[in-house]
Amino acid sequence: TTMALACVGIDGCFGDDVNSDETRGPETTIQAPAGTLGISFGSDDTSNVIIAVRPTSPLAGSVAVGDKLVSISGPGRAPFRCGGSTGSEVVGELRAAENTGDRVLTFKKPAAFEVAAPPGALGLIFESHGPRVTALRSWSPLSGQVAVGDVLTSINGEPVAAGDGFDAAALVKGADDGSADRRLAFY
């Protein structure tokens, strides 16, 4: 579920050292207007990733699903870094200037990347019915290549899409022939 805040659903921000925002994609800084933003973020404590942008959002065309909220700032205010923040803290920062139109939001665009996943168990844990990595086992052969918050986009060149009955772990396991690497693409 998402937590609604004037069309901005936030419940947690992503900010662990394993998937540093500084290492992925270009940044976009946006002057957010007063009022609702029409964007939603993931629902757990590991997500500052946009999961939906309403067509009527004043940010439509500037942000997209997959963008990560990095910071919130404004004139006369110190930048609020999302890394390590709780959902309540982020919501509080967005609410603080909701009616003034002086919110400056910095997003990090996702950078696509591909990894060669060896045969066997990978130690990746995905969200229920979704392609986002929520945890990695300490023994994962993909540790250092894939991080919490990364979103699986294809397996061996075949796109994956979340939907009813979607099980990313089953798809990854099903692509294991026991002898060849699997090509997993993420953003």
Higher pLDDT, 131 or 124: 124
Average pLDDT (78-100) is 74
Identify the pLDDT of residue 130.
Answer: 77
How high is the mean pLDDT of the chain? 77
Average pLDDT (77-82) is 83
Report the share of the chain in percent with pLDDT over 90.
28
Q: What is the distance in angstroms between the CA of the first residue and the CA of the last residue of the chain?
A: 22
With a cut of 90, say whether residue 117 has pLDDT above it. yes
Task: Please name the residue ranges forming H helices in 16-60.
Answer: none
User: Which CATH number is associated with domain 113-186?
Assistant: 2.30.42.10
> What would the two tokens of residue 165 be?
């009955």
3-state secondary structure (DSSP) of residue 88:
helix
CA distances from residue 23 to 6, 20, 108, 134, 147 in whole angstroms, order as listed: 31, 6, 10, 19, 11
Higher pLDDT, 136 or 55: 136
Q: Measured on CA atoms in the order 181, 177, 18, 152, is the torsion positive or negative? A: positive
To the question of domain 8-108 being in CATH 3.90.700.10, the answer is no
H or E element, residue 115:
strand 113-117
| 8-108 matches 113-186 in fold | yes
Residue-wise pLDDT tens digits, 26-70 = 888 999 998 888 877 665 554 677 777 788 989 988 887 778 888
Identify the pLDDT of residue 116.
Answer: 97
| Per-domain residue ranges of the chain | 8-108, 113-186
Of the listed ranges 14-23, 41-50, 138-147, 170-179, the one predicted with least confidence: 14-23
Average pLDDT (145-173) is 84
